[in-house]
């Protein structure tokens, strides 16, 4: 973000290069410090070596507490309009922040314009920390958060740029493996998957678990790949699978909303669920109980995810180092009537 300078003064970038750490790590030390002792020692040595003078005013400002924590959903259309889990995650996060007398402020990013403005908001001292849902590596906000050293927790695995940040998640691959095995155990022989959001860890991991469960029986032709976890893509994905393999008798949909859409496409095609096709979802969101038949699925503990994410942000604000804070919560298979 810094352009070439004429009078060359040492920057955070120089410190980071000399210490062999990321700029985010340097900024965290400058802004209140929660990095490993080794990193701190290296950074302090590097500051002396390159002659870096921190901007004290900015640093003081950064230390002021707003008692507010941002909640960012980086896929607003799909999340706000389609995903009932997001509400439960928000309520869980809000309850934990509320107990600690912190205000949760939920920020929508729906355009590049929003992205820039939210970036200014996060760097402007309006929040002491952030919870980020559905981040992808190309979201510019990820780089910014590293640069400003904002205490942050990701819901789901953080993207590559933020691998040192804590997250709260579930074992997507393991749970996908478990529910696919359970579906195989019902005697289905042509099992397909409607994979979604493969540009995110959750989506990619669910496909990985599905492949692992099928092993040598895995057939790439029976994977329909859709961009988002939503109902409409579920309809499209299922139609594609039926076109490719009319004899399909089992389907793992990457989310309950996708499964609900798949159910519509199966109904259209005159297939009965579970008699002709066994269908399973993922999330155990409100969709799961409202389809007819109710969905067999993987339970995501959405409120607990939100609560835990908030607690991890609060611990960082209180000075905890972000390393090894991450939490993986249980996500058991819930067997109902769709398979």
Under the criterion CB under 8 A, does residue 111 sit at the interface with its own copies? yes
Sole window of 76-84, 174-182, 189-197, 325-333 interacting with its own copies (rule: CB under 8 A): 76-84
- Near its own copies by CB under 8 A: residue from 186, 212, 286, 326: 286
Is the Cβ of residue 205 or residue 230 nearer to its own copies in the bound state?
230
- Near its own copies by CB under 8 A: residue from 12, 19, 107, 258: 107
Under the criterion CB under 8 A, does residue 117 sit at the interface with its own copies? yes
Under the criterion CB under 8 A, does residue 121 sit at the interface with its own copies? yes
| 282 closest CA partner among 219, 195, 159 | 195
Residue corresponding to tokens 């976890």: 229
| Alpha carbon distance 299, 282 (integer Å) | 7
Under the criterion CB under 8 A, does residue 326 sit at the interface with its own copies? no
CB of 299 to its own copies, least distance (A): 16
Asked whether the beta carbons of 43 and 22 are under 8 A apart, the reply is no
Under the criterion CB under 8 A, does residue 82 sit at the interface with its own copies? yes
| 164 closest CA partner among 172, 152, 155, 182 | 152
Under the criterion CB under 8 A, does residue 293 sit at the interface with its own copies? no
- Near its own copies by CB under 8 A: residue from 21, 43, 74, 104: 104
Tally of CA atoms within 13 A in the half-sphere of 136 that contains its CB: 13
Tell which positions 216-235 bind its own copies, by CB under 8 A. 231
Is the Cβ of residue 17 or residue 68 nearer to its own copies in the bound state?
68
| Alpha carbon distance 259, 237 (integer Å) | 10
Under the criterion CB under 8 A, does residue 337 sit at the interface with its own copies? no
| Alpha carbon distance 13, 23 (integer Å) | 6
Asked if the peptide bond before residue 14 counts as cis, ω within 30 degrees of 0, the response is: no
Asked whether the beta carbons of 155 and 167 are under 8 A apart, the reply is yes
Under the criterion CB under 8 A, does residue 101 sit at the interface with its own copies? yes
Under the criterion CB under 8 A, does residue 54 sit at the interface with its own copies? no
Site string for its own copies, 239-258 (x = CB under 8 A): --------------------
Under the criterion CB under 8 A, does residue 76 sit at the interface with its own copies? yes
Strands (E), the chain: 68-73, 103-108, 129-133, 152-155, 167-170, 191-196, 223-226, 250-253, 278-280, 297-298, 327-329, 333-334
CB of 245 to its own copies, least distance (A): 25
Backbone angles phi, psi at 197, to 5 degrees: 50, 50
Q: For the chain, what's the residue count? A: 339
Under the criterion CB under 8 A, does residue 304 sit at the interface with its own copies? no
- Near its own copies by CB under 8 A: residue from 11, 95, 208, 212: 95
CB of 91 to its own copies, least distance (A): 6
CB of 105 to its own copies, least distance (A): 4
Tally of CA atoms within 13 A in the half-sphere of 127 that contains its CB: 27
Nearby residues of 304 by Cβ (< 8 Å), 6 or more positions away: 92, 329
Sole window of 45-53, 106-114, 162-170, 316-324 interacting with its own copies (rule: CB under 8 A): 106-114
Under the criterion CB under 8 A, does residue 61 sit at the interface with its own copies? no
Is the Cβ of residue 214 or residue 302 nearer to its own copies in the bound state?
302
3-state helix, strand, coil in the chain (%, to 5): 50, 15, 35
CB of 98 to its own copies, least distance (A): 5
Burial class of 11 by CB neighbour count within 10 A (0 to 12, 13 to 18, 19+): middle
Q: Token pair of 284, please?
A: 């155990």
Where does this chain bind its own copies (CB under 8 A)? 68, 76-77, 79-82, 84, 86-88, 90-91, 94-95, 98-99, 101, 103-108, 110-111, 113-114, 117-118, 121, 126, 231, 260, 264, 267, 286, 290, 292
């Amino acid at each position: 973000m810094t352009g070439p300078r004429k009078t060359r003064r040492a920057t955070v970038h120089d410190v980071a290069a000399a210490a062999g750490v990321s700029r985010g790590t340097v900024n965290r030390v400058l802004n209140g410090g929660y990095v490993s002792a080794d990193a701190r020692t290296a950074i302090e040595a590097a500051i002396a070596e390159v002659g870096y003078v921190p901007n004290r005013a900015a640093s003081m400002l950064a230390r002021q507490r707003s008692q507010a924590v941002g909640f960012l959903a980086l896929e607003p259309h799909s999340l706000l309009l389609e995903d009932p889990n997001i509400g439960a995650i928000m309520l869980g996060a809000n309850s934990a922040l509320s107990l600690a007398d912190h205000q949760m402020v939920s920020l929508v990013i729906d355009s590049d314009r929003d992205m820039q403005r939210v970036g200014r908001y996060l760097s402007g001292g309006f929040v002491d920390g952030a919870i980020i849902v559905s981040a992808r590596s190309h979201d510019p906000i990820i780089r910014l958060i590293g640069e400003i050293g904002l205490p942050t927790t990701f819901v789901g695995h953080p993207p590559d740029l933020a691998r040192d940040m804590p997250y709260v998640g579930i074992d997507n691959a393991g749970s996908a493996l478990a529910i696919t095995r359970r579906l195989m155990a019902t005697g289905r022989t042509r099992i397909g998957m409607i994979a979604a959001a493969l540009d995110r860890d959750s989506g990619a991991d669910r496909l990985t678990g599905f492949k692992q469960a099928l092993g040598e029986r895995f057939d790439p032709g029976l994977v329909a790949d859709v961009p988002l976890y939503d109902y409409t893509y579920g309809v499209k994905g299922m139609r594609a699978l039926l076109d490719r393999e009319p004899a399909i008798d089992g389907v793992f949909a990457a989310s309950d909303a996708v499964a609900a859409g798949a159910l519509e496409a199966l109904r259209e095609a005159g297939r009965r669920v579970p008699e002709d096709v066994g269908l399973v979802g993922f999330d155990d969101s409100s969709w799961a109980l409202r389809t007819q038949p109710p969905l067999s699925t993987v339970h995501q503990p959405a409120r607990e995810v939100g609560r835990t994410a908030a607690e991890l942000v609060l611990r960082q604000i209180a000075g905890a180092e972000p390393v090894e804070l991450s939490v993986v919560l249980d996500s058991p298979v819930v067997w109902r009537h769709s398979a």
